[in-house]
Structure 1
């Protein structure tokens, strides 16, 4: 059931502007409070925790292209349908040019607020034990999630675990990624022990212990700590309430706004159609929704059969959409690259293709292919005001991670069970893997994760950790208006520390004057 767990405003250093939220559209202002007289009861602690979820709704994170710019663009799965977003997709990034400054700022805001909550809630006798543990666990998870993204995108970054005075924050140097990740893996184990396994329907969307374990598994996998990664994945597979859905397409079905969660989702960012505030919703969907001005192919042609009113193809498509209460009102610029859009590059029995890619709709050939799994044409999901949840972690990813870790530890024999569990629903007839060498299994996983998780925010980090990003970008087919293969360099596996941050704090260059190779 679609319910709210978020509030309108968030902690910013020592000031809180609070609103209670019983549902997405019901808010009651509580006035201006300082942290000194806050956290006096369970309700106030929950409100503070809700503020952390609110930050995830920022356009710089999950609401629009924010994180997607750096997790999805510039690989072999998604590209623009026209000459837009070119700096990022074409690797024309530099200090001050698409350097992720907004993402950086929002992630550190999340960290600062999580640190404040941890300090205020820990050993707070005004709170019941259950709420104290839940809020502490949520704050530990959110802080770890922020550092996970920061270290993935920038490597070594400023690191703090308590809310520092501005004077100290302003002079921090970068800390080794390995140090940060060692700490947050421990934090996530504590979060796992503190957080509940499930929530009631009106609290869906909150981080559970399984969300903490999934993030921990990701960190172990990225750091090639294979046994801890496998153990974390097995914990989720064997003991969590999460299960794989029987139908791949159902994982992404967001058409019913009252039933947008399912058993495969481990952690999502919950969005809602919002006529009041304007940022409880998401417009990421519009990147994947077509725009009618592009569609269909031969849009201005006038068919001579079954067309008594002499309408153009686009008018016929518009009418056909209207009959099922749909429209094409998106931006249509996050579309599959030609190779993944071509069904000839998929196994012919892979059922995921039709659930992932769409090239024809309602009998009309489309000008571009689109990601069916990420679009929603229903008029109940209007342009720039969508309610679709962003799926951050889901169970199929965990199975594939377990398969990868097991293969690295012991070879493929024990890894087949994990990957074949995912492939059971993907193929008709079933096509389980067998008879592969360790290296063949490793390389087969490159494509298996691409087809299972396309356009879900995993591909770029996968290619980077496998060490094949440059080779893939240089060899995959791009569209005529893009040429990232000619521009990508070794330095592009990381972003430069944002120029604005360097101007405010030159100490960020102390440990690396080259700024990740961009100087």
Structure 2
């Protein structure tokens, strides 16, 4: 799959239409408290969903919510899935509330993310009810629109149940009175419904897109999200079936070189055949919402780099390391203008902790640049120093949500838990084949040995991609892992993490609006 400059321009025109739609009140994404609006008033099937164009415009509007700072644009979802694991942490004393597990009711409790995800769930339900079965919309447009909406609503509840466990759940639009007293629903019921919805989404969505439609979910994205739900519930047969379908029947393939998976240096060619689904970003967006700021967390600050920046290797009166370094950066049209917030923790940053010969290390970790030693290690796979196409606060890099290597590793885990390692080796060895030269395939393991080894394989293959926290949680080893991970001097998560930290507390702002949210669990996930 390839993008193009022409398709990017076309996408920008579509964005303008989306903005108009939101100004008209089609979305309430700016609302901070999801109980404060009566969502059954406003646009209905009778006064808006009258043709294909209006249905497509409605679906396009939903994607705006994925570009919120509380979801994929900055560290919104990364705070729940990436920060506070054994892979990355802050390069200085910042974001400590999240990383050090000081979260409490009303303190970094995710209220902004909660609001955006419920906007997505709520608007998806409105649009689904208005489009599905609407005889004013053509069959082809209706099928794709319904498939996309089902996927996006399932994505919203995937994040909501992962982060908060039992949460308010509705599939029809409720009145403000109903929302003000709604309680929490067992997450298992919600996830069961989402798996069913994703089966239908799979049947409706196309196998691929091109041009300006890149970034929409295909049937393979629906299969991947369904597999994610299944693996969290240790439903191994269903996990493997979904993964095998993607591996055997989709157009996606593993790239020959690991670094190429993350190469987005050309904004006109951001997609590749390993990406199953990504949240699409572009620079110079007309309303400031469609460019990524997440890259800035992984880009260094020039005030930090290089190491020994004030030293003058040529002696007194000669340029300092900083001056020499900046000159070389300028020659390559690069600069270090990021925040430097998210860097590898010491253990993963040291090459000796990786398996001998693992070529993924150099593609993942960078400790020197242009011949200069850096003060901090960084995630090379997530940085972009390009000062022509990727400026601070204005990055076009896509957020890669699902890619094929993850599919292979999930299939391997599922097969091992179903039948032992013999049938699982082929899956994990397909991923390892490009990581080592010569190959280092697995063999001769017991079932337990395979599962333990796979934990490290996922850590190194998928580092800093937003999978680690849920992996540690579903394996039941989050607390012990954090307590034994080497940290830096300004962090102390090992002293603070407790078993209840597998979930966040329901946001205090929501409880104040609706005390019934505590009826099924007065402890609020153990935070009271």
Q: Is the 8 A contact 2:22 2:61 kept in 1?
A: no
CA distance in 1, matches of 2:386, 2:173: 44
CA deviations over 1:90-121 (Å, ceiling 9, x no partner): 00000001111111110000001100110000
CA deviations over 1:370-426 (Å, ceiling 9, x no partner): 000000000120001100000000000000000000000000000000000000001
Q: Is the 8 A contact 1:9 1:16 kept in 2?
A: no
Residues 466/11 of structure 1: CA separation in 2 closer, same or farther (3 Å cut): farther
Higher strand share goes to which structure? 1
Question: What are structure 1's unaligned runs of at least 5 residues?
Answer: 19-32
The 5-angstrom pairing of residues 211-360 of structure 1 reads 211-274=221-284, 276-304=286-314, 310-360=318-368
Aligned partner of 1:511 among 520, 524, 528: 520
The corresponding residue for 1:22 is: none
For the residue of structure 1 that corresponds to 2:374, the secondary structure is strand
Residues 128/374 of structure 1: CA separation in 2 closer, same or farther (3 Å cut): same
For the residue of structure 1 that corresponds to 2:434, the secondary structure is helix
Aligned partner of 2:186 among 135, 153, 176: 176
1:88 maps onto 2:98 in alignment: yes
TM-score by length of 1: 0.95
The corresponding residue for 1:449 is: 458
CA deviations over 1:124-174 (Å, ceiling 9, x no partner): 111111110000000000000010011111110000001111221121100
1:479 maps onto 2:492 in alignment: no
CA deviations over 1:214-262 (Å, ceiling 9, x no partner): 0000101110000010000000000001111101000000100000000
Aligned partner of 1:102 among 112, 117, 137: 112
Structure 1 residue 266, shift from structure 2 partner: 0.6
CA distance in 1, matches of 2:467, 2:256: 22
The corresponding residue for 2:31 is: none
For the residue of structure 1 that corresponds to 2:433, the secondary structure is helix
For the residue of structure 1 that corresponds to 2:308, the secondary structure is coil
The 5-angstrom pairing of residues 401-440 of structure 1 reads 401-440=410-449
Q: Is the 8 A contact 2:298 2:382 kept in 1?
A: yes
The corresponding residue for 1:65 is: 75
Residues 175/13 of structure 1: CA separation in 2 closer, same or farther (3 Å cut): farther
The corresponding residue for 2:173 is: 163
Alignment: residue pair count: 503
CA distance in 2, matches of 1:367, 1:237: 41
The root-mean-square deviation of aligned C-alpha atoms, in Å, is 1.6
CA distance in 2, matches of 1:97, 1:468: 25
Aligned partner of 2:372 among 349, 364, 367: 364
CA distance in 1, matches of 2:247, 2:236: 16
The corresponding residue for 2:395 is: 386
TM-score by length of 2: 0.93
The corresponding residue for 2:51 is: 41
Structure 1 residue 17, shift from structure 2 partner: 7.3
